[in-house]
C-alpha cells in the first residue's frame, strides 16, 4: 500500500530494523503502530482498540499501565538510577528481589544471578553448566539436551537450544554439543493406540537411549519448559515429567526449568514447576518477572550447582561473567512491585479461574472443521488449526492458516500470535470472564470466515 511521505509508518520503514520480520515484506507494508495501552487492551495510532491476547509477548502479567509499577520505577529512578553488582557491589533492590525469589521458589534454591532477558539467562546457564563441569574435573561433560518444538531464546547458545529452523538458517547454528529429543506433544506425535502414559514412557525411553548412545558422562543438562510456549502451548501428557525426571536422576543430569513463559502465575500456580511437580536444579525467569515493564531476568540455582561454581571462582579469582544492566536497580524495584501486585490481587488465582472459564469456552471449537486440537493450562491456551477437511488448502504451506487467522483477528480487534498453525493465547492475568467471552467470540468469527472461504 502507498504510504504518506514522512508519516510515522514511512519513517518506521525508513529507519527501523524489526525483529522476527521479513525485512522486504516490511518495506512494502504498513506497520501496526501501538500508541498506548490500559489493562488488557492496546490502542493503535488511529485509536483502534485491540484485546491484547498475548500480553505483549507472553509477558505483561499485571496488565498495561499499572500505576504501582510506574510509581516504583519513578521512586527508584530518583533514589538510585543505576547500580551494578560487579566486584561485590550491590544495592537494595537486588538484595530484596534475590531474597524474594529464593523464598517463593517451588524447590530449595541457593542464589540468584540477574541478567536482562530470557535469552541472556539461558546463555548464562549454559556457561555456568560448562564452568561447573570443568570445576568437577569432567571437561567432557558439556552436552546439553533440548526438545523438538522448544524455545529457549535467540542468542548464540540459547538459540541453538531453540528448535526452529528459522532461528538457525544462515546464522551458522546450532552450535556444537546441543542434542535434541522428542517433543511432549501427544496430539501431534503419538503413535496409533498409544495412551498418554504410553507416549510419556516412549519419550522417556528415547531420552534414556540418547543419553546412553552419547555416553552418560558427556551429558551435562536437560533444558525444558514446563509447558512449551512458542512451540504452540504444548502441555505435557500425564506422567511425562515424572518419567523424564527419573531418567535424568538416574544419570545425574542437571534439570533446567525454563519458566520464562510459565512463571508468575501463568499455569494457575506461581510456577509451572509447581503445576507439574518438576524439581529443577536451575530455574530461568523473565517476562512476567517485571511484566516486561523493564528488561530483567533471573537465574535461580540450587546449592548443588552454586557451591561448585563458587569454589571454581575462588580458584580462578573471579566468576568472569556479567552484564552492565544485570540487577539494574530500577528493573529490580519494578519486578519486586510486580510480584507484590500479583500476590496482593491474587492474580495466580484469577489465572486459574478465568483460565478454566476460557478453556471451557474454547473447547466449543474442538469439533470445528478447521480445528485439530484445543489445549492449555491456567491462562495459556492454543487452538491448533489444520486443513485436512479442506481439499482447497492442500497446497498451503505450514503457517499459512495461522498467519491468515492472525490477520483476520487483528481486523476484529484481537491480537494473538501463531505458532505455525496454532493460535496461541496468553492474555494478561488480569482479564475478566467478559474479556474471555470477547476473545472466544472473535476467534469463532474468524474460524467460520476461514472455513467458508476454504469451502
Q: What is the domain-level CATH number for residue 36?
A: 3.90.1150.10
Q: Is the residue at 18 inside a domain?
A: no
Q: Is the residue at 390 inside a domain?
A: yes
pLDDT digits (tens, 9 = 90+) for 241-264: 999 999 999 999 999 999 999 999
**Across 126-138, average pLDDT:** 98
* 447 pLDDT higher than 70: yes
Inter-residue contact 361 to 437 (CB < 8 Å): yes
The pTM (predicted TM-score) of the whole model is 0.96
Residues 337 and 400 in one domain: no
Residues 252 and 312 in one domain: yes
Last residue of a domain, one of 344, 368, 398: 344
Residues 225 and 122 in one domain: yes
Residue-level pLDDT at 4: 85
Q: Is the residue at 9 inside a domain?
A: no
Q: Could you tell me what percent of the chain has a pLDDT over 70?
A: 100
Residues 387 and 318 in one domain: no
Which residues neighbour 170 within 8 Å (Cβ) at sequence distance 6 or greater? none
Residues 387 and 449 in one domain: yes
- Measured in degrees and rounded to the nearest 5, phi and psi for residue 131 equal -60, -45
Residues 300 and 389 in one domain: no
Count Cβ atoms within 10 A of the Cβ of residue 69 and give its class: 0-12 exposed, 13-18 middle, 19 or more buried.
buried
Residues 103 and 251 in one domain: yes
**Across 72-96, average pLDDT:** 98
Confidence of residue 1 (pLDDT cuts 50, 70, 90): low
Domain that holds residue 390: 32-62+346-454
Residue-level pLDDT at 395: 85
Residues 232 and 273 in one domain: yes
pLDDT digits (tens, 9 = 90+) for 196-219: 999 999 999 999 999 999 999 999
Q: Is the residue at 10 inside a domain?
A: no
pLDDT mean across residues, the chain: 97
Residues 398 and 374 in one domain: yes
Inter-residue contact 384 to 373 (CB < 8 Å): yes
Residue-level pLDDT at 3: 81
From residue 395, give the alpha-carbon distance in Å to each of 39, 165, 388, 392: 40, 21, 11, 7
Residue-level pLDDT at 393: 87
**CA separation for the pair 399, 401 (Å, rounded):** 6
* 426 pLDDT higher than 80: yes
Q: Is the residue at 38 inside a domain?
A: yes
Q: Is the residue at 161 inside a domain?
A: yes
DSSP 231-260: TT-BPPPTTHHHHHHHHHHHTT-EEEEE-T
Which residues neighbour 207 within 8 Å (Cβ) at sequence distance 6 or greater? 145, 181, 222, 244, 247, 248
pLDDT digits (tens, 9 = 90+) for 295-352: 999 999 999 999 999 999 999 999 999 999 999 999 999 999 999 999 999 999 999 9
Pairing of strands 219-224, 143-147: parallel
Nearest Cα to 283, choosing from 39, 414, 110, 47? 110
**Across 373-401, average pLDDT:** 94
Number of structural domains found in the chain: 2
**Across 37-45, average pLDDT:** 98
> What CATH number is attached to the domain comprising 214?
3.40.640.10
Confidence of residue 5 (pLDDT cuts 50, 70, 90): confident
Residues 378 and 289 in one domain: no
Last residue of a domain, one of 311, 344, 377: 344
Pairing of strands 254-258, 297-301: unpaired
Last residue of a domain, one of 344, 362, 386: 344
**Across 442-450, average pLDDT:** 98
Residues 90 and 234 in one domain: yes
Residues 335 and 195 in one domain: yes
**CA separation for the pair 176, 174 (Å, rounded):** 7
Inter-residue contact 393 to 207 (CB < 8 Å): no
Q: Is the residue at 26 inside a domain?
A: no
Lookup result for grid cell 481486523: 411
Q: Is the residue at 255 inside a domain?
A: yes
Amino acid at each position: 500500500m502507498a504510504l504518506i511521505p514522512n508519516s510515522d509508518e514511512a519513517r518506521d520503514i525508513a529507519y527501523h530494523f524489526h525483529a522476527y520480520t521479513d525485512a522486504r515484506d516490511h518495506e512494502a507494508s504498513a506497520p501496526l503502530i501501538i500508541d498506548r495501552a490500559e489493562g488488557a487492551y492496546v490502542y493503535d495510532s488511529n485509536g483502534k482498540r485491540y484485546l491484547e491476547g498475548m500480553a505483549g509477548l507472553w509477558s505483561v502479567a499485571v496488565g498495561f499501565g499499572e500505576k504501582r509499577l510506574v510509581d516504583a520505577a519513578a521512586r527508584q529512578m530518583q533514589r538510585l538510577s543505576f547500580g551494578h553488582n560487579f566486584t561485590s557491589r550491590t544495592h537494595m533492590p537486588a538484595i530484596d528481589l534475590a531474597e524474594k525469589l529464593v523464598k517463593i521458589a517451588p524447590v530449595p534454591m541457593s542464589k540468584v544471578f540477574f541478567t536482562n532477558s530470557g535469552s541472556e539467562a539461558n546463555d548464562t546457564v549454559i556457561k555456568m553448566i560448562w564452568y561447573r563441569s570443568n570445576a568437577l574435573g569432567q571437561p567432557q561433560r558439556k552436552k546439553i539436551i533440548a526438545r523438538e518444538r522448544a524455545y529457549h531464546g535467540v542468542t548464540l547458545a540459547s538459540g541453538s537450544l531453540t528448535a526452529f529452523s528459522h532461528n538457525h538458517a544462515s546464522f551458522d547454528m546450532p552450535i556444537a554439543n546441543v542434542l535434541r529429543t522428542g517433543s511432549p506433544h501427544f496430539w501431534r506425535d503419538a503413535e496409533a493406540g498409544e495412551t498418554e502414559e504410553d507416549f510419556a514412557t516412549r519419550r522417556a525411553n528415547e531420552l534414556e537411549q540418547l543419553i546412553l548412545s552419547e555416553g552418560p558422562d558427556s551429558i551435562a543438562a536437560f533444558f525444558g519448559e514446563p509447558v512449551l510456549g512458542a512451540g504452540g502451548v504444548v502441555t505435557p501428557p500425564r506422567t511425562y515429567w515424572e518419567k523424564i525426571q527419573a531418567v535424568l536422576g538416574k544419570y545425574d543430569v542437571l534439570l533446567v526449568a525454563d519458566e520464562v513463559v510459565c512463571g508468575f502465575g501463568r499455569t494457575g500456580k506461581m510456577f509451572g514447576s509447581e503445576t507439574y511437580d518438576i524439581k529443577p536444579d536451575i530455574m530461568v525467569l523473565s517476562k512476567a518477572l517485571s511484566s516486561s515493564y523493564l528488561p530483567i531476568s533471573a537465574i535461580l540455582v540450587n546449592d548443588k550447582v552454586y557451591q561448585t561454581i563458587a569454589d571454581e571462582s575462588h580458584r580462578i579469582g573471579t566468576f568472569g561473567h556479567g552484564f552492565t544492566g544485570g540487577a539494574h536497580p530500577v528493573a529490580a524495584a519494578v519486578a519486586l512491585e510486580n510480584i507484590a501486585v500479583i500476590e496482593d490481587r491474587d492474580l495466580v488465582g484469577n489465572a486459574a479461574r478465568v483460565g478454566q472459564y476460557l478453556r471451557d469456552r474454547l473447547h466449543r471449537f474442538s469439533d470445528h472443521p478447521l480445528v485439530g486440537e484445543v489445549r492449555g493450562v491456567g491462562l495459556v491456551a492454543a487452538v491448533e488449526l489444520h486443513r485436512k477437511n479442506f481439499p482447497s488448502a492442500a497446497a498451503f504451506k505450514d503457517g499459512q492458516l495461522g498467519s491468515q487467522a492472525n490477520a483476520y483477528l487483528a481486523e476484529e480487534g484481537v491480537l494473538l500470535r501463531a505458532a505455525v498453525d496454532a493460535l496461541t493465547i496468553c492474555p494478561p492475568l488480569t482479564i475478566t470472564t467478559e474479556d474471555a467471552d470477547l476473545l472466544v467470540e472473535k476467534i469463532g468469527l474468524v474460524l467460520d470466515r476461514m472455513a467458508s472461504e476454504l469451502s
